[in-house]
Amino acid sequence: MATPRDVPSRDVYMDLEKRFARMYLIRDAATLLEWDASTFMPDGGAQARADQMATLRVIRHELLTDAAMGERLASAEACADLDEWERANLREMRREWIHATAVPAALVEARSQAVSACEMRWRTARRANDFAGLRPLLEEVVRLTREMAAAKSQSLGVSPYDALLDEWEPGGRAADIDRVFGAIESFLPSLVERVLAHQARRPAPDAPRGPFAADRQLELAHRLMRAMGFDFAHGRLDVSAHPFCAGIPEDVRITTRWDESDLENGLFSVIHETGHALYERGLPERWRRQPVGQARGMSTHESQSLLWEMQVARSPELVSWLAPLAREIFGGEGPAWDAEAMLGRVLRVERSLIRVDADEVTYPLHVILRYRLERALIAGDLTIADLPGAFDDGMHELLGVRPPNVCDGALQDIHWPAGMFGYFPTYTLGALTAAQLYAAALEANPSIPASLARGDAKPLTSWLVPNVHALGALPSAPEILVRATGRPLDPEVFRRHLERRYLG
Reported as a single tens digit per residue, the pLDDT across 70-97 is 999 999 999 989 999 999 999 999 999 9
In a 3-state reduction of DSSP, which class is residue 246?
strand
Kindly name the residue from 86, 273, 360, 374 that is annotated as catalytic.
273
> What are the residues whose beta carbons fall under 8 Å from the beta carbon of 174, sequence distance 6 or more?
159, 161, 162, 165, 375
Does residue 139 contact residue 153 with C-beta atoms inside 8 Å? no
Indicate whether 169 pLDDT > 50.
yes
Residue 237 clears pLDDT 70, i.e. is over it: yes
pLDDT at 5: 52
Strand 245-248 and strand 251-256: pairing?
antiparallel
Rg, Å, the chain Cα set = 23
Tell me how far apart the alpha carbons of residues 168 and 489 are, in angstroms, rounded to a whole number: 18
What's residue 69's pLDDT?
Answer: 96
> Strands of 235-239's sheet, edge to edge?
235-239, 251-256, 245-248
pLDDT score of 443: 98
- Give pLDDT, residue 155: 94
Does position 480 have pLDDT exceeding 70, yes or no?
yes
Under the banding of pLDDT at 50, 70 and 90, the label for residue 185 is: very high
For range 113-130, the mean pLDDT: 94
Per-residue pLDDT at 7: 52
Does the pLDDT at position 357 exceed 90?
no
CA 283/CA 470 separation, integer angstroms = 5
Confidence of residue 356 (pLDDT cuts 50, 70, 90): confident
pLDDT digits (tens, 9 = 90+) for 328-354: 999 999 999 999 999 999 999 999 999
Annotation marks residue 109 as catalytic: no
pLDDT the model gives residue 8:
58
Cβ atoms of residues 97 and 73 within 8 Å: yes
CB 351 within 8 A of CB 397: no
Question: What is the tens place of the pLDDT at every residue in 29-38?
Answer: 999 999 999 9
Cα 327 to chain centroid distance, Å, stands at 31
Proportion of the chain above pLDDT 70, given as a percent: 98
Structure confidence at residue 423 as a pLDDT band (50, 70, 90): very high
* More confident: 58 or 7: 58
Mean pLDDT of 405-426: 96
pLDDT of res. 1: 45
- Domain 175-503 fold is Neurolysin; domain 3 (1.10.1370)
> What is the mean pLDDT of the segment spanning 215-226?
97
Residue 435, number of CB atoms within 10 A of its CB: 26
Contact 375, 422 (CB under 8 A): no
Q: Is residue 409 pLDDT above 70, yes or no?
A: yes
Angle CA 348–302–257, to nearest 5: 60
The answer to whether 176 and 162 are in contact (CB under 8 A) is: no
- Mean pLDDT (whole number) for 358-374: 97
Pairwise CA distance, residues 438 & 270, whole Å: 19
Distance CA 120, CA 102 (A): 27
Q: Give the Cα separation of 349 and 346 in Å (integer).
A: 8
Question: Buried (b) or exposed (e) across 270-285, using 16+ Cβ within 10 A?
Answer: bbbbbbbbbbbbbbbe
- Does residue 4 register a pLDDT over 70? no
Q: Longest C-alpha distance within the chain, in Å?
A: 80
Q: Tell me how far apart the alpha carbons of residues 74 and 29 are, in angstroms, rounded to a whole number.
A: 29
Give 445's contacts (C-beta < 8 A, 6+ positions apart): 459, 460, 462, 463
Tell me the C-alpha distance between 164 and 92, whole Å.
17
pLDDT at residue 3 in the model: 52
Backbone angles phi, psi at 412, to 5 degrees: -70, -25
- Mean pLDDT lowest among 113-117, 152-156, 241-245: 241-245
> CA-based angle 32:422:291, to the nearest 5?
50
* Paired residues of 238 in beta bridges: 255
Q: Hey, CA dihedral for 125, 248, 466, 316, is it positive or negative?
A: negative
Nearest to 468 by CA among 491, 492, 444: 444
276 has a pLDDT exceeding 60: yes
CB-based burial, 314-345: b 16+ in 10 Å, e otherwise: bbebbbbbbbbebbebbebeeebbbbebbbbb
